[in-house]
Structure 1
Amino acid sequence: MKTLGIDFGLKRVGLALTDPAGSMAFPHKTIERVERHGQSGRDALFAELVDIVAQEGVELIVVGWPAPPDGIDSMTARQATNFAASMARRVTVPVLLMDETLSSSEALDDLRAAGVKQAKRKAILDQQAAVRILQSYIAAPDAARPVERKY
């Protein structure tokens, strides 16, 4: 099952895709949240994501969510949840939330270990974090939680 992983951020959104079998994750792209073609940054982001879902034959979306250790959602967790719910309203495929705790710091460690120069890290860090989110989902799909479609 081809899956899209999303590392949600207020400035940049990192994307990763699995192979068609859904067993390996690969970086796809980073979307800068800026106004495009007269659309707000939010509208342009969702339009591009919907296009990617259609073009890539995505069957499932996994959005990174910073799970609160104390059971109380942080502002970032609420923003990721709202983003995932907005995405679920725009596509017909299931949307899940997956704990992304430490995904960005682990992604940075991965890039350093791979010898990626500091100047290039910023451009691909969000994609690598999305890869980490997908790898977590592949390893433990039952740990993801579904997003309700609220219209």
Structure 2
Amino acid sequence: MLTHKIIGLDVGSKTVGVAVSDLMGWTAQGLDTLRINEEENELGITKLAEIIKKEDADTVVIGLPKNMNNSIGFRGEASLKYKEELLKILPDINVVMWDERLSTMAAERSLLEADVSRSKRKKVIDKMAAVFILQGYLDSLQ
């Protein structure tokens, strides 16, 4: 059993999918999708900090998109920058960078199998990707 919940993030250029664990550390649930504007450096960190405090989380798992050859590309660099910005606001939070290769594809496949319409998929895909990222991390703790 965890002493605090864990937050999972799928960071994109326009949205950040947010998921949260249960206190048992067994399951991840989609929580929110934050609208951001990466180009304007509006990253939603303040709103995320509110969520972290409300959920009583002490760890944030951020998806780190890697290339198939294990190198870190542009999106990976953006996720690392997001981590830095989060630590400026919440310096005591534990941040784990988690290899998220194919998490968005897995989330998309899951939604397709559930016959979710394209417009609904677009609204929840980032939150679902955050669930996949966090669930992968939680499974690694077992």
Q: Calculate the TM-score normalised by the size of structure 1.
A: 0.83
For structure 1, which runs of at least 5 residues remain unmatched after alignment? Answer: 143-151
Closer, same or farther: CA 108–69 of 1 in aligned 2, 3 Å: closer
For structure 2, which runs of at least 5 residues remain unmatched after alignment? Answer: none
Q: Deviations over 1:58-95 (max 9, x none)?
A: 12100000124435321111111111122123222201
Shift of 1:137: 0.4
| Residue matched to 2:101 | 101
- What does 1:129-144 correspond to in 2, within 5 Å? 129-141=129-141
| Residue matched to 2:123 | 123
CA distance in structure 1 between the aligned counterparts of 2:68 and 2:118, rounded to whole angstroms = 31
Give 1:115's aligned amino acid.
D
- What does 1:76-95 correspond to in 2, within 5 Å? 76-91=75-90, 92-95=92-95
Matched residue count = 137
| Residue matched to 1:147 | none
| Residue matched to 1:31 | 34
CA distance in structure 2 between the aligned counterparts of 1:99 and 1:65, rounded to whole angstroms = 5
CA distance in structure 2 between the aligned counterparts of 1:134 and 1:67, rounded to whole angstroms = 16
Q: Which moved more, 1:126-135 or 1:64-73?
A: 64-73
- What does 1:1-40 correspond to in 2, within 5 Å? 1=2, 2-33=5-36
Percent identity over the alignment?
Answer: 28
Structure 1's consecutive aligned runs of 4 or more residues displaced over 4 angstroms after TM superposition are: none
Q: Deviations over 1:9-53 (max 9, x none)?
A: 11011000011122100000101115xxxx9623xx011001001
- Are 1:41 and 2:52 an aligned pair? no
CA distance in structure 2 between the aligned counterparts of 1:47 and 1:25, rounded to whole angstroms = 22
CA distance in structure 1 between the aligned counterparts of 2:67 and 2:87, rounded to whole angstroms = 22
| Residue matched to 1:61 | 60
Q: Please tell me whether the aligned partners of residues 11 and 62 of structure 2 are also in contact (alpha carbons under 8 angstroms).
A: yes
**Aligned alpha-carbon RMSD (Å):** 2.0
Q: Secondary structure at the match of 2:29?
A: strand
